[in-house]
Amino acid sequence: MRNPAIDSRLFTENRARLAKLLLPNSVAVLNNNDIPPTNADGSLILHPNSDLFYLSGVTQEESMLLLYPDAHDGKFREILFLREPNPLMETWEGHKLTKEEAKKLSGVARVEWLGDFWPIFHRLACECDHLCLNSNEHKRAAVVVESREARFVQECRKRYPLHNYQRLARLMHRLRAEKSAIELDLIRQACGITEAGFRRVLRFVKPGVTETHVEAEFAHEFVRRGAGFAYPPIIASGINACALHYLENSAPCRRGDLLLLDVGASYANYMSDMTRTIPVNGRFSRRQKQVYQAVLRVLRAATDLLRPGVLVKDWQKQSESLVERELVNLGLLKMSQIRKQDPDAPALKKYFMHGVGHPLGLDVHDVGITTEPIQAGWVMTCEPAIYIREEGFAVRLENDVLVTDGAPVNLMEDIPIEVDDIERHMNSRR
């Protein structure tokens, strides 16, 4: 990823915040992710470990960060470990961070090569009372591939079986949920690039183009602005939009269909997440407009519910009640169905079956302790929808929202969403 320079104060402050949460006399260690293999000698592009980046700003492969805030010798309190570059490596892989570059990037005063890690770590492991190690503890994570972090945990337990081990992930979830001013600026820039891509697509879409062509328009705008896709984009026309994670993105866009666009830009490793639904021919039908306006009303009401102190589960339940009311008004549900429904399988789930939103940040489905009340400084997506498979279309709308001590702030306020705005932008090209 083409990352712009980020003020190293962000990472210095993040490490200081973590130090306050660690138990006394703790050593914490974080590893970057593996470069994932494909087949033969192929590999994918490294996706940096979000926690390591959050604390150091480093994305380079195999990097490690060691933190020992209570170290007796001050030179052991923060150490960043990197692959030692050599001419052959740089011939094949390009430039690697020097120690001075890593210091400037991260704000960590001491940088060492990876070959020095275990002797240093052994000394500190003998001095500390707790080893705080990391793992992927996202509740929806499918942990089926062993990570560098997992291998490191196993090696530590093998070498130091009698030590007291602590979970770092729980602390990182708490820290990363509340966004700093620098982080919010990066998320806003990601949202702005997403807006530019969407406006480009509004001028482009017409009957006969394919979902692939639409994806390419987003890619062109994102890449030229130094960004990338925050996640595999969903470009779903007609009934394809009723598949929540549709990724084929190859069907033709036909006159009379709606086109659902779930796309976000990633900028400097910070994510955006937008969904818009537009008419392929530039005009909503009467029925399409009815459903669209219903979802838009829910989006606005659900956004307003994002206040400090609200539990995510209660926000979900209140939002589902809003959707339920709209489904009745659209003739998709009857009050008798609602009165007779199984509380564990409510009738609205036929048309709205997913969460109304999630935390956003360094990951699209970002970490956070969502069993605790929402707090000011959280960034949440809000994405209500209505899927009508029997009518062959769906409407989903999504914005990224900053929770504040006052009213929620829509970080995608400038991205067209009103029916008239969508139609005007699509038809102005003609």
Residue for token pair 């302790």: 369
- Residue range(s) occupied by CATH 3.90.230.10 in the chain: 181-428
Residue for token pair 């492991």: 125
Tokens of 319: 């939002």
Tokens of 153: 């945990």
**Residues 347-371 pLDDT 10s:** 999 999 999 999 999 999 999 999 9
Q: Residue 208 — very low, low, confident or very high, per pLDDT cuts 50/70/90?
A: very high
Architecture of domain 181-428: Alpha-Beta Complex (3.90)
Q: Compute the distance between CA of residue 364 and CA of residue 359 in angstroms, rounded to an integer.
A: 8
The percent of the chain in helix, strand and coil, each rounded to the nearest 5, is: 40, 20, 40
DSSP string, 260-277: EEEE-EEETTEE--EEEE
Residue 4 has pLDDT above 80, yes or no: no
Residue 68 has pLDDT above 60, yes or no: yes
Q: Residue 141 — very low, low, confident or very high, per pLDDT cuts 50/70/90?
A: confident
Helices and strands in the chain, H and E counts: 13, 17
Least confident range of 135-149, 344-358, 391-405 = 135-149
DSSP string, 99-153: HHHHHHHH--SEEEEGGGHHHHHHHHHHH-SEEEE-----TT----S--HHHHHH
Residue 429 has pLDDT above 80, yes or no: no
State which H helix or E strand residue 236 sits in: strand 234-237
- Residue 383's nearest CA partner among 320, 313, 332 is 320
Residue 17 has pLDDT above 90, yes or no: yes
Residue 340 has pLDDT above 70, yes or no: yes
**What pLDDT is attached to residue 1?**
46
Q: Compute the distance between CA of residue 260 and CA of residue 257 in angstroms, rounded to an integer.
A: 10
Please indicate whether residue 312 or residue 35 has the higher confidence score (pLDDT). 312
Q: Compute the distance between CA of residue 408 and CA of residue 221 in angstroms, rounded to an integer.
A: 29
SS3 283: coil
Q: At what angle do helices 211-224 and 181-204 cross, to 10 degrees?
A: 140
Section 87-116 average pLDDT? 95
Average pLDDT, the chain: 96
Contact indicator for 10, 4 with CB cutoff of 8 Å = no
Neighbour order of strands in the sheet with 274-279: 234-237, 258-263, 274-279
Residue 299: how many other CB atoms lie within 10 Å: 25
Residue 430 has pLDDT above 60, yes or no: no
Sort residue 41 into left (φ over 0), alpha (ψ -120 to 50) or beta: alpha
- Residue 206's nearest CA partner among 257, 169, 244, 166 is 257
How would you class 141 by CB atoms within 10 Å of its CB: exposed for 0-12, middle for 13-18, buried for 19 or more?
exposed
Distances in whole angstroms, Cα of residue 361 to Cα of each of 32, 149, 194, 379:
18, 21, 15, 7
Section 230-249 average pLDDT? 97
**What pLDDT is attached to residue 143?**
83
The residues with which 229 forms a beta bridge, in sequence order, are 265
Can you give the pTM of this predicted structure?
0.96
Percent of the chain surpassing pLDDT 70: 99
Contact indicator for 68, 77 with CB cutoff of 8 Å = yes
Mention every residue, 6+ apart, whose C-beta is less than 8 A from residue 124.
27, 66, 68, 71, 76
Tokens of 404: 């504040």
Q: Residue 2 — very low, low, confident or very high, per pLDDT cuts 50/70/90?
A: low
Q: Which fold has domain 9-175?
A: Creatine Amidinohydrolase; Chain A, domain 1 (3.40.350)
State which H helix or E strand residue 399 sits in: strand 399-402
- Residue range(s) occupied by CATH 3.40.350.10 in the chain: 9-175
Neighbour order of strands in the sheet with 399-402: 379-382, 399-402, 409-410
Residue 266 has pLDDT above 50, yes or no: yes
Q: Residue 144 — very low, low, confident or very high, per pLDDT cuts 50/70/90?
A: confident
**Residues 215-234 pLDDT 10s:** 999 999 999 999 999 999 99
Q: Where are the alpha helices (DSSP H) in 168-311?
A: 169-177, 181-204, 211-224, 286-304
**What pLDDT is attached to residue 140?**
85
